[in-house]
Amino acid sequence: MAYQALYRQWRPMNFSEMVGQELVVTALRNQVQSGRIAHAYLFCGSRGTGKTSTAKILARAVNCENPQDGDACGECESCRRLQSDSSFDLLEYDAASNSKVDDMREILETVQYPPQFGRYKVYIIDEVHMLSANAFNALLKTLEEPPGHMLFVLATTEPHKVPATILSRCQRYDFGRIPAEKIAGRLREAVAGAGVEATDGALQRIARAAEGGMRDALSILDMCIGYGQTVDEELVRRVLGASDRSFLFRFAEALANEDPATVLALIDELMREGREPAVFAREIAGHLRNLLIAKNCPDEFPRLMELTAEDAAEYIGQAEALSGTRLMSMIDLFMAVDSQLRFAASPRIALESAALHACLRTGEEDTAALVERVAELEKKLAVLQERIASGTVTVQKAEPRQAPAAPREDNKPKPVGDKDMLKIWKDAMGILAKSSPGAFGFLSAGRLADAQNGRFTWEPKENANPFSAEYLRRPEQHAMIEKALAEAAGAECVFVIGERSAAAQPTRPDDGLKEIYETFGAGNVIVQEN
Ligand SMILES: [Zn+2]
């Protein structure tokens, strides 16, 4: 026997065999049972979600001589004829290849003739949105005066392209993406049927890669089985290669981590698999756009993108690591790859250049990110003020700080009044935000521990990235900070990086201030004795 592709082998033959689409199945079954069949149905949904299979199941059910609970019996004359795909009562067309009006007229001319055998003559038109305007007009005339034996099932991935006049004459059913769990369950059955071994992890991975489409999932499993009798995660990863959606997540994660080494390694992987740089640039731009939408409307996201809740959660999770401004500038970078291809020495270089720029933020983006952060802080401030007013948070007076170390003898600063310290620090931070966003960022992530006589002692936060202090200790950064302080103070200042003293910590009365530090960034808060 010739090998039959899994998705053909596992195509559901009746409503009971359908995986997912419970609402659609229940509604259609009820209609068959009650005999209230419409003349035209519109099945909407992304590819591989079961639109055509359901149309064929419906065709069998409405024609079955002995239906069981609204489902075809599979045994009567009508069922056997319709299952053999040779019945003249079930006609299937792909509008993508029949968009000329003549073809449509020819099809519609046959509508007047009654079914050869069963009760209904069923016309399935796939990708119906591809029909020309004339073809739609011809179809509309038929839908306006449907012969009693006529049943049209129009299937589309893009219902918004179907004219309203057609839509209003159809019963519409939306086919959602099938949850990965359910797809994995069907894959498990297919694996057992094919007599091969597969790990759960491998099936989960296939199910997720198929993004809610059963046909794609079974096709991927088919490819894996082609490689051997044991399907494990490693094999799935190799079969999917860089076309896997998880590759886009890995790539975006490397961008979010500002990790050029990983980004370049991933581009190398793409190239070795013979992928087209420009195509990938569009894919990653699309992925970043999804993240931007996930970030801005997380509640609406699953519906907008027609994603399962678990897939949507993955996007929303990744979006957390990236600011909206950064996402937008990264999208611009990857969208520009196409136009840069003309000037780049090679498409790969254009892609790498965009990816590296996306990794290494420019000062401009940082300023924009800063604006965003300030807006966020303002929101938190409003909340905090409310909470202080309502007494949920109390602000305690600070205990005296530990005594500062003696000023550097070789560089004794001119006296700067203690009163101005807070203002000087704030002004200096403002200067640094423009001149050295890196230093500003790291300083904001720590706290000003002490400020006296022009000597500013800054401490990293608990559990801070050890790199922050190291970065601020670099001579050029250190000089930049002292320069900003001097500019703000109008006098020479000293910047010192303090070590967190373990002994000093327990006595710090910071519990009431903790929230303030966390809200504003400790670097922006100075505790002064009255
Ligand atoms: Zn039957």
Per-residue pLDDT tens for 189-214? 999 998 899 999 999 989 988 888 89
With tokens 């990293």, the residue in question is 460
Task: Tell me the average pLDDT across 129-140.
Answer: 90
Give the pLDDT of residue 155.
96
Measured CA to CA, the distance from residue 303 to residue 293 in angstroms comes to 11
| CA of residue 119 to ligand 1 center, whole Å | 12
Instruction: Judge whether residue 406 has pLDDT over 50.
Output: no
Give the pLDDT of residue 132.
87
Task: Tell me the average pLDDT across 55-83.
Answer: 92
| CA of residue 34 to ligand 1 center, whole Å | 16
pLDDT grade for 228, boundaries at 50, 70 and 90: confident
Give the pLDDT of residue 182.
93
Give per-residue pLDDT as tens, 449-499.
888 888 889 888 776 666 677 778 878 888 889 999 998 888 889 998 887
The enclosing H or E element of 38 equals none
Maximum mean pLDDT: which of 150-164, 258-272, 501-515: 150-164
Taken in order of first residue, the domains within the chain and their CATH numbers are: 6-175 (3.40.50.300), 180-242 (1.10.8.60), 250-302+320-360 (1.20.272.10), 381-524 (3.30.300.180)
Looking at 119-123, 345-349, 443-447, 493-497, which range is the least confident one? 443-447
Give per-residue pLDDT as tens, 370-397.
666 666 666 777 777 777 777 666 555 4
Instruction: Judge whether residue 509 has pLDDT over 60.
Output: no
- The per-residue b/e assignment along 69-79, b for 16 or more CB within 10 angstroms, e otherwise, is ebbbbeebebb
- Cα angle 18, 227, 202 (rounded to 5 degrees) comes to 50
Looking at 22-36, 44-58, 214-228, which range is the least confident one? 214-228
| CA of residue 487 to ligand 1 center, whole Å | 89
Three-state secondary structure call for residue 77: helix
Give the pLDDT of residue 409.
45
Ramachandran region of residue 498, left (φ > 0), alpha (ψ -120 to 50) or beta?
A: beta
pLDDT grade for 227, boundaries at 50, 70 and 90: confident
pLDDT grade for 33, boundaries at 50, 70 and 90: very high
Instruction: Judge whether residue 517 has pLDDT over 80.
Output: no
Looking at 41-45, 104-108, 416-420, which range is the least confident one? 416-420
Maximum mean pLDDT: which of 83-97, 176-190, 505-519: 176-190
Give the pLDDT of residue 25.
96
The enclosing H or E element of 6 equals helix 6-9
Give the pLDDT of residue 311.
83
Q: Is the CB of residue 420 less than 8 Å from the CB of residue 459?
A: no
Give per-residue pLDDT as tens, 170-194.
999 999 989 989 999 999 999 999 8
| CA of residue 121 to ligand 1 center, whole Å | 15
Report pTM.
0.57
Three-state secondary structure call for residue 209: helix
Give per-residue pLDDT as tens, 93-130.
888 776 555 678 888 888 989 998 889 999 999 999 98
Instruction: Judge whether residue 508 has pLDDT over 60.
Output: no
> Mean of the per-residue pLDDT values for the chain?
82
High-pLDDT (> 70) share of the chain, %: 80
| CA of residue 75 to ligand 1 center, whole Å | 5
Give the pLDDT of residue 308.
79
| CA of residue 35 to ligand 1 center, whole Å | 15
Give the pLDDT of residue 437.
63
High-pLDDT (> 90) share of the chain, %: 35
| CA of residue 66 to ligand 1 center, whole Å | 5
| CA of residue 84 to ligand 1 center, whole Å | 13
With tokens 């049972």, the residue in question is 33
| CA of residue 312 to ligand 1 center, whole Å | 40
Phi, psi of 456 (to 5 degrees): -110, 120
Residues contacting residue 230 through CB under 8 Å, at least 6 positions apart: 196, 197, 198
Classify residue 71 by its DSSP letter: B
